[in-house]
Structure formats: structure tokens, C-alpha cells
Structure 1
Amino acid sequence: MTWKNAVRSTLAVLLAGTVIAGCSDNGNSTESPAQSTNSPKTNATESNQPSSDTSVIDEQPSSVYYEIFVRAFADSNDDGIGDLNGLINKLDYLNDGDPSTDTDLGVEGIWLMPVNDSPSYHGYDVSDYYNIDPDYGTVEDMKRLMDEAHKRGIKIIMDLVVNHSSVEHPWFVDSATGKDSKYRDWYVWAEDQGREPNGASATNGGDAWHRNNDSHYMGVFWGGMPDLNFDNPDVRAEMIKIAKFWLDQGLDGFRIDAAKHIYEDLQTDRNGDTTEKNVLWWQEFRTALQAVKKDVYLIGEVAENSPVPVAPYLNGGFDSGFNFGLAQNLLSVAGKEEDSNLANSLSRTHGMFSEVSGGQFVDAPFLSNHDQNRTMSVLRGNVDHARMAAAMLLTMPGNPFLYYGEEIGMFGQKPDEAIREPFIWNAGAKAGNGQTSWTPSQFNIDNPPSVEAQQKDPNSLLSHYKKLIRIRASHAALRDGAIEGFETSNGAVVGFYRMTQAEKVLVLHNLSKDPQEVVIAGDSGMKEMIEALKEGSSFQDGKVKLPPYSSVILK
């Protein structure tokens, strides 16, 4: 079967009624994939007895990733701006490479927000794809970061922004000179294509077209980000060349920005044909990169709360797509202290992803990122709710992604600069020890406590994250296993099995402020409590006692 026929087959399956409509706790309509009788994952259950058929287990070997905005993270030269050398100096905070120590966070991967040269503070309008922003360092600094990270067992992926460039990129500057430009067809000019320069952007509903002299170019995000023309094979070849360049430097993969907007430019482009074109491009891209690095990791930003639009991109395109719907549900469940059939819904989603990808997908759960209000602000400063959100995230399948500062409880609400504030190394965010000051803090002046303070407190949120990550790494079922729902008959408790072919564990989270009790059936296979995140937890005579805001793992 050709790639094109495979994509069409995937889309046909998704459009043939493999989803059922539901309603989330917050009243927003959501979609969840229905259980398929021939899916590789048919292990969701309403009883609290585990499935006995291990042949359906679709394992997801995983790593914990940490998203970093370099400008805000760590400063090496006291100019207030974070840089690559500052990050290198702080690698031991993330993972010191020694599993016998417990002072590091324990992450195994880093996602760098854009580090290419750009006229903007955020870097999502690239002016030189082959260079590093001078504020951050050099290509040699980037190579040293990758070398030092690899020594500690940390993979590095970086944002690759190929949907658009900066208006200051030499390609666009030349393209804008007129129809005779070598790079004219590298961008989308309405008059050149005989199009009317009107239509609402698929990204924000605004005008997608921007005037330049007597012509109009497409820029679906804003005028400073002109869209590249992926119908031009030279553009596609150049983007592959750029990606190969960074893989040759030692990079492990890419987070693909705006992955669905390669061809989905206008509101009228939201259809199956556009999705097919997008997916075919990402399959072409992946195939080319695997010739350089067979195990390249590609994760796409397909910003949809429903899993249905994400699924086609897992068919030979990306390893992972960020699970936006799960992020919303995790925060809602933690904030309301009430389960919403979380595990069974996720199991069905994974059944769809597994079928589409031939079992090759890895989910990418998260709580928040650089485009969203921070977790602690969404949860209104409730540290107990933040602890439970983290506990659920870090016991879920796939590669969990942490947004820098989430582990210390940083606050932040839009605009974007205020959700990307300086990471807090020192009390009061005072200068020294790598502290950045790239923008004044609005939300993190007095709270949360700094890394310096939380490292010394065994009950801090940071210590909670470190413990969770170590527990995850210690059990194959938690690290690499599939998920299966467990019926607790208690709305305040989230329960689910995690399993590999060789191991099965039961995870229980008490979301509430009150103690809870869960009865475990004798034929569940659970014999002992192997982990408890809070004193007072117990498992005896078939009953699990859970203190307020606590988690246990049984085996």
C-alpha cells in the first residue's frame, strides 16, 4: 500500500463512525473513540478485574521530557538572558546521570523552544535556520549541550518551525522584491496564484493575507510570519536539509510547531483532503530523516482537544501528538476532585492511535505548555490539586512533558510573556546562580518558593515531582505499559491498571480532601502495596485506605 493510499485508508476508518460523542465535566463537547472489536487495545473494562489476555497489551516505552524556554531558564554571563551555557550548567538539576542520587529531577529528555536566530524574543519567526540566536550562544554551544546531555542520559529535541519563516528571513526579503525573485514561489502570493486576498485564518479567524507593495502574502499567524509554500518541492527539500543538519550535530528529534497548518491555512481548508496533504508531507519528512537517524523522535503540535484529528498524523508521520484533550481533563479532574472516566476514555483513545499507527505511537500527555495559562494558575494556587495533577500525569502512559517551572509551582496567565517568566532558582529571584531576568515577573514575585528552598524541603512540590519520576522509572509497567480502566465505585478516586507483557500494577489516586476506601476484588491479582506517596496509606484484607490527596500503587 502506498503512503497516499494508507492515509486515505486511515481517514476512511476515522470517518466511518469509530468515535462516539461525549461531554466533558466543564460542559465543552468532546469526542472519544469508541471501542473497536478488532483494535489492538480492547482491554478497557468497567469491572475491577484485570484482563487476562496479555496479547492485547500495546506497550509504550517512554521517557519524561522537560520543556525549556532558554531565555527564561538559566543565565551563564549575567546579562539577565538565559542561554545554552546556562542550561549546560544546570543539567545536573534536571538529571545528573547518577541513578543513585536523588537531588536531580530525573527527566530523560529536553524539548527546547526555538533556539534558531530570530528577531523576536520567542523565536517562532526564524530568520536563519542554520544558526543559533546570538543571545543564546553558537552552534558549537548547541553541540556541547547535546554532548553533555547525552552523557547524563538526556535526549534533546528542539522546536522546528517550518510552516512559516520571519519576514526578515533572506528568502522572504528576496521573495518580496517581485515576481522575478528566485524565492518568489517559496511563499504564497495571492496575485501570483490568481487568488483573491481574502479569507479567515484557520489559526485565529483573522485576516490571513497581508499587503506588501502591490501584492498580498499569506501569514495565517500574523504578518511577521509569512507562510512557506509547501507545494514547491524546493521548499520541502530545504526543510528536510535543515532537519538533517541538526540531526548531524547530534540532535535526537524535533517538536514540530503548527503541524496541521502546512496546508490548513484558511477556515475553508478544514477538511479531509487538507489533512491528507499534511500527513503525506510529514510522512515524506520522516522517511527522509530516518535515512540519517533511524530512531529520530518526531512529536507534532496538532492543537485539537479531540483525538480524532490527531490520529492520522500518527500513521507514519509522527511518533507522538500532544494530548491536548487529556491535559484539559487532568486539570479539570484535579480541580473538581472528581473522576470523569478518565482511564477508560484514554484507553479507547489509545486503541484508535494503536490501530492507526500499527502499534507504533507513543502518547504525549502534559498539563500545560508555553501557549497556555500555567497549571498552578488554572488550579487557583491549590498545591494539593497541583500534586494530584502531577501524580496522574506521571502515572499515565507515554512520554509525559513538564513545562519548566511546573515542578516548583510557578504561576502565569496570558499574555504570553507572563507564562514564560524567569525560572526561580534563588529566593526572591535574586541575581546569581544562573537566575535570569529577561522580563519582570508579574506572577512569581513572592510565590512559589525557589528551587533553593524546595530542594531542602522533603514535602515540597519539587520533592513530590522527583519522587513521582523515580517511582515511574522503577517500575516497567508505569514506565512503558498500556492503560486499562479500573472501576473504583468511588467518584473521588481515579483508578487504572498499567501493564506490560511481564508486569501489571494498579494505580489509585484519591483526589479529595477526605480519606477514601476502595475494595479490591480477590481475583484482581493485586497482592501488595509497593508504593505510597503519603503516610497512612494501607492495603489490607482487600481494602485500600487512601489519606486525603494521596496515591498508591499495588502489585
Structure 2
Amino acid sequence: MRKRTPARSCLWLLASAALVLASAAPARQDGGARPDAPATAQPPSGVWYEIFVRAWYDTDGDGIGDLNGVTAKLDYLKSLGVDGLWLMPVNPSPSYHGYDVTDYEAINPQYGSMADFRRLLAEAHKRGMRVIIDLVINHTSDRHPWFQAARDPADPHHRWYTWAGTRADLGAVSATGGPAWHALDGRHYLGVFTGEMPDLDYDTPAVREAMVGVGRYWLDLGVDGFRLDAAQHIYLDFQSQWGDPRAVAKNVRWWQDFRAGLAASNPRAYLVGEVTQDSPAGLAPYVRPLDAVFDFPLAVRLIESVKQERDRGILAQALPMAAAYAAAGRATGDAPFLSNHDQERVMSRLQGDARHMRVAAALLLTLPGEPFVYYGEELGLQGKKPDPDLREPMRWNRRADAPGETRWKPLTANRGGDVSVEAQDADPRSLLNLYRTLIHWRAGLPALREGDLHGFDAGDPQLVAYTRATPGQKLLVVHNLSGRAKTLPLAPTQGFAELLRSTSAGARLDHGRLLLPAYASAVLR
């Protein structure tokens, strides 16, 4: 592995980052112009799809998913209606998951080559699809050349990491609950997640310079932005720092500087951050430097609401977040989701209840922001801890041993052929086709993508209702969380007189009353 240095990055001057970087843009590594941005021949849905490449689709028969497999299935994703891909880490790494990077400017050889990656970008952009990649820069692998060099206190890279001083509490608990300090060569270094993931020190200017260079490197290749792993942990290191406004302020300042540094390569790069807070107040500061943050509290409320068949405060979370984004000048912001690669899959949390899953999907895909769908969620894949079981092979065929199916780990769930694209594709009542329907609603109804959010009093805790409005369109969205048909009276002054969409053929508007079957959702104009 060749050693990376900041030499290929621009000069880091915080006071005038954008201007300096604009004049010092690094040369393209392939000698060409930046690849075309995604085409926009049809209205976007604003929906993203998270892919674990290892588990996705295998084109070379080794049992491991690869980048060519992502390219091979772009048309499937296009048919689903998504217009953005989030690729979990694609850099070289000693782990199966890739969240401990050993080379920030290379592709994991198990996944393919840089040429394969460029081909994927080009084919995705032809289809009007954006591509963002996981950017894991809070920490490196302990096998990264930087950290290997840092073991020598005389090497400049020693200052790239945090080492315990004489007064450090070596028994301190990290912000993620494990030991914060890890022994090496008679010293101790900071590793918030594990000892295999030493934290970089962002008070070192060379670290900041290097990471802006990494971001620009991928943007210049044509990547459309980044999912920022552990975005709150740049300066949130210890359990005692939770809630400390100083740590939050330093995190926010770094991401502001990072965005400014990227501007010379792509001022419109999409940045979505992993910020694991449990309230709007905890998430709101990160809305200023980032386009969106993953709405973890909303995911909890969505799942608990459909599971209990009673509203558990969905709008109490969604409305303050909408206000926070509006205050930051991004009225259509937020990154709602149901589950991801670190959490028990949503179908497992719902104990396999497909009725509840359908309502959860309808809620997710009619709320503000740009929703994220975890691969296989549209099929009802299940998965419980430990982490590898949350990231099991995507099911394409009824037969788990069919060509293209990955075999990176044995299946612990989803062994049946019904949970597969092959089984659900042609079934109009399948979960897969419900996802297609809902995502295409977003593409066809601008207010579902871009509209303001306002609460609507349905007078029944088993009904969730809200309006989505743009200057040209006002919609009322109603979800029946329960197993019984519900009736919602609508006054003529409210103006909703046309039933536009429904997930059930039994839904109807009759003399000012919306009749909504069990577990159904409807959109009115």
C-alpha cells in the first residue's frame, strides 16, 4: 500500500478556504474532465438506497459482491424509482465491513478496480442517479501507513493521532461505551470505537488538509457527495462529553470548513451525516454545515407507532426538524429512514408483520426530506444482531445458490424463496411493488418531495395525518395505523375534495368523509 501524504492536497487556510482551494485544485488522476452530473430526464424521487457492496451482487463467482454487480443492477434500482445510491465503504480495509480504512484513495480489491468504480459512476449518471460513498475520516485503521508511521514519536504523523498525556485517565470510557485509550509501545492512543480504529486529531492542521484532499479526490472522480460516518465524533471522544456544547461547536466548525474546502471541486456536493442524537435539539446544530442528518429519533417513532398501531409522536419529531432545516435555508431537508446497517432490520423489529411494514414504508416515503432505504428493506429482509447478520446477502432469486447471489456469510434469516426479487417482482401485491408505488408517488407529486409540512388533527390516535404543500400543490396525507377501517370527516373549508392516491383499492372519498381501510394510506388534493 503506497503511503499518502498531504502533498496532493491544497494549502489549508481557514480564513479563505474556498478561494484558496479554487486556485489550487488538484489535477485529475485520469487526465479527463469531471464526469457528467446525473441526467434529469424525469422528475426525481429524492430517494436514496443504501448498498453493502459485499452483500449485493456477485459478477465474478467468488461469492463476494462487487462494483460490477452494483452496475449490473442499476436498472433494478431505476425501476424501483430511487435516484441516489449510498455505497458503504469501498476503500481497502482489513475488516469485512470497511469502516477501518487503510487507503483513502483506492478501491478494495475484493470489490474490483478503480476502472470498475468509474464505470459504475458513468452508468449511474446516465440513468439520472447520484452516487455518494461512505467517508470514514473520524479514524483510520491501525494498519494505515499514517498510524504505522505515527508509532515513532519523531515522525510528523505522530501528531496526526491523539496520545495520552501524563494526566490522562487511562480508564476513561469512550463516547461509544468502550475503553477510550489503547496501549501500544508503552504509550496509549485514543480509539473511540475500537483499538483497531485510532482516532485522528483534527486539531492538527495537516490532518484537516489531508481530509479535504481526500474529499476533493473523490469529487473530482465524479462522486456526488458523502455519507459522513461518525460525524459527531470528530470531537466527541469521551462519555463525559455527551451534551457538551463545546464538542458540538467544534464538530460543526470542522464540517463547515470541510464543506468550504470541497467547494472548488463541487460546491453542490451532497453531505449527509451520521449523528446519533435522540432529539431535534441534538440534531439541529449539524443542519447548518450539512445538507442533512439521519433522523434517528424519527425512525424510532415511526417503528413504534406502526408496531403499537398508535401515533407515538411522529409529528412531534418531524415538525421541529422541518423548522430546523427551514431556518438553515434547506426547507426540504432531513434524511428519514427505518433501519440501516448498524440496527436490527425493521421487519425484524416488527416481528415479521407485513401489514405494519407496509404502513411504515408509506409513512417514510410521504414525509419531508430525502428518505433512505436499506438494501432488501423493500423485500422485507430480516436481520438481528450481531452486526454481520444485519448485512446478509441481498436475495435476488428464489434459490439462494443461484448465480449472482453472494455467499460472503451463511444466511441466518431470509432463507425462503418468497423474500426475493424474483418472487416479488411480478406480484402486484408484494412489498417490493408497494415500495415502487410509493417512490413513484414522490416522483409524480412535487409536494411529497418538496412541500412544507404541517400537522392535521385527525382526532384519532390511530390516524396520522399531515399536509404537504408547495406554491402549486397542497396535499393531505392520511395513514391508518390500525387493523380496523377508519373514517375521517373533512370540512368543505379544508378543501380536500379529490382522492389522488391510496395503497388500498377500498379507500374512497364519500360526501366529505375519507373512508380508509385497515393499514391503508391515502393522499388527497
TM-score normalised by length of structure 2:
0.90
Q: Any conservation in 1 of the 2:331–2:452 contact (CA below 8 Å)? A: no
Kindly provide the CA deviation profile for residues 364-388 of structure 1, in whole angstroms up to 9, marking residues without a partner as x: 0000000000010000000000000
Paired letter, 1:388: V
Name the CA distance, whole Å, in 2 between partners of 1:371 and 1:480.
29
* 2:110 paired with 1:127: no
Q: Which residue of 2 aligns with 1:27?
A: none
* 2:267 paired with 1:267: no
Cα drift, residue 535 of structure 1: 1.0
* 2:201 paired with 1:226: no
Aligned counterpart in structure 2 of residue 160 of structure 1, from 123, 135, 142: 135
Q: Any conservation in 2 of the 1:454–1:461 contact (CA below 8 Å)? A: yes
Identity of aligned residues (%): 48
Aligned counterpart in structure 2 of residue 251 of structure 1, from 212, 215, 223: 223
Q: Which residue of 1 aligns with 2:423?
A: 453
Distance verdict in 2 for CA 1:392–1:438, change over 3 Å: same
Kindly provide the CA deviation profile for residues 276-327 of structure 1, in whole angstroms up to 9, marking residues without a partner as x: 1111000000011122101100000001121111111111x10100000000
DSSP-derived class of the 2:189 partner: strand
Q: Which residue of 2 aligns with 1:476?
A: 446
Q: Which residue of 2 aligns with 1:217?
A: 189
Aligned counterpart in structure 2 of residue 94 of structure 1, from 77, 96, 115: 77
Cα drift, residue 62 of structure 1: 6.5
Q: Any conservation in 2 of the 1:338–1:511 contact (CA below 8 Å)? A: yes
Cα drift, residue 196 of structure 1: 4.3
* 2:275 paired with 1:305: no
Q: Which residue of 2 aligns with 1:537?
A: 507
Distance verdict in 2 for CA 1:328–1:344, change over 3 Å: closer
Q: Any conservation in 2 of the 1:62–1:398 contact (CA below 8 Å)? A: no
Q: Any conservation in 1 of the 2:359–2:481 contact (CA below 8 Å)? A: yes
* 2:155 paired with 1:181: yes
Name the CA distance, whole Å, in 1 between partners of 2:127 and 2:357.
28
Q: Which residue of 2 aligns with 1:413?
A: 384
Name the CA distance, whole Å, in 2 between partners of 1:526 and 1:361.
23
Kindly provide the CA deviation profile for residues 111-158 of structure 1, in whole angstroms up to 9, marking residues without a partner as x: 010000100000000000000100001112111111100111110001
Distance verdict in 2 for CA 1:196–1:551, change over 3 Å: closer
Q: How does 1:328-477 map to 2 (within 5 A)?
A: 328-355=300-327, 357-359=328-330, 362-432=333-403, 434-446=404-416, 448-477=418-447
Q: Any conservation in 1 of the 2:91–2:108 contact (CA below 8 Å)? A: yes
Give unpaired runs (5+ residues) of structure 1. 5-60, 96-103
Q: Any conservation in 2 of the 1:344–1:485 contact (CA below 8 Å)? A: no
Name the CA distance, whole Å, in 2 between partners of 1:360 and 1:392.
19
Paired letter, 1:140: A
Q: Which residue of 2 aligns with 1:512?
A: 482
Name the CA distance, whole Å, in 1 between partners of 2:171 and 2:265.
41
Name the CA distance, whole Å, in 2 between partners of 1:149 and 1:387.
28
Give unpaired runs (5+ residues) of structure 2. 1-13, 16-43
Q: Any conservation in 1 of the 2:332–2:449 contact (CA below 8 Å)? A: no
Cα drift, residue 256 of structure 1: 0.3
Cα drift, residue 512 of structure 1: 1.2
Q: Any conservation in 1 of the 2:463–2:481 contact (CA below 8 Å)? A: yes
Q: Any conservation in 2 of the 1:320–1:361 contact (CA below 8 Å)? A: no
Kindly provide the CA deviation profile for residues 320-364 of structure 1, in whole angstroms up to 9, marking residues without a partner as x: 000000000000111111123423542233213322x13466110
Cα drift, residue 448 of structure 1: 4.7
Q: Any conservation in 2 of the 1:88–1:145 contact (CA below 8 Å)? A: yes
Paired letter, 1:154: M
Distance verdict in 2 for CA 1:480–1:360, change over 3 Å: closer
DSSP-derived class of the 2:134 partner: strand
Q: How does 1:492-503 map to 2 (within 5 A)?
A: 492-503=462-473
Distance verdict in 2 for CA 1:341–1:226, change over 3 Å: closer
Paired letter, 1:243: G
Paired letter, 1:326: L
TM-score normalised by length of structure 1:
0.85
Name the CA distance, whole Å, in 2 between partners of 1:73 and 1:335.
29
Kindly provide the CA deviation profile for residues 408-451 of structure 1, in whole angstroms up to 9, marking residues without a partner as x: 0000001000000000001131221x211100000111265210
* 2:110 paired with 1:139: no
Aligned counterpart in structure 1 of residue 57 of structure 2, from 74, 82, 86: 74
DSSP-derived class of the 1:197 partner: coil
Distance verdict in 2 for CA 1:361–1:186, change over 3 Å: farther
Distance verdict in 2 for CA 1:167–1:404, change over 3 Å: same
Cα drift, residue 194 of structure 1: 5.8
Q: Which residue of 2 aligns with 1:35?
A: none
Name the CA distance, whole Å, in 2 between partners of 1:190 and 1:287.
31
Q: Any conservation in 1 of the 2:400–2:417 contact (CA below 8 Å)? A: no
Paired letter, 1:333: S
Q: Which residue of 2 aligns with 1:83?
A: 66
Kindly provide the CA deviation profile for residues 6-36 of structure 1, in whole angstroms up to 9, marking residues without a partner as x: xxxxxxxxxxxxxxxxxxxxxxxxxxxxxxx
Kindly provide the CA deviation profile for residues 60-90 of structure 1, in whole angstroms up to 9, marking residues without a partner as x: x961000000000011101100000011001
Q: Which residue of 1 aligns with 2:19?
A: none
* 2:304 paired with 1:321: no
Name the CA distance, whole Å, in 1 between partners of 2:358 and 2:513.
24
Paired letter, 2:97: H
Cα drift, residue 459 of structure 1: 0.5
Paired letter, 1:467: T
Name the CA distance, whole Å, in 1 between partners of 2:87 and 2:524.
36
Q: Any conservation in 1 of the 2:447–2:475 contact (CA below 8 Å)? A: yes
Paired letter, 1:226: P
Name the CA distance, whole Å, in 1 between partners of 2:370 and 2:126.
20
Aligned counterpart in structure 2 of residue 285 of structure 1, from 258, 267, 270: 258
Q: Which residue of 2 aligns with 1:238?
A: 210
- Bigger relative contact order, structure 1 or 2 (CA pairs below 8 A, ≥6 apart): 1
Q: Any conservation in 1 of the 2:88–2:133 contact (CA below 8 Å)? A: yes
Distance verdict in 2 for CA 1:535–1:62, change over 3 Å: closer
Name the CA distance, whole Å, in 2 between partners of 1:241 and 1:124.
19
Root mean square deviation, CA, Å: 1.5
Aligned counterpart in structure 2 of residue 63 of structure 1, from 36, 41, 46: 46
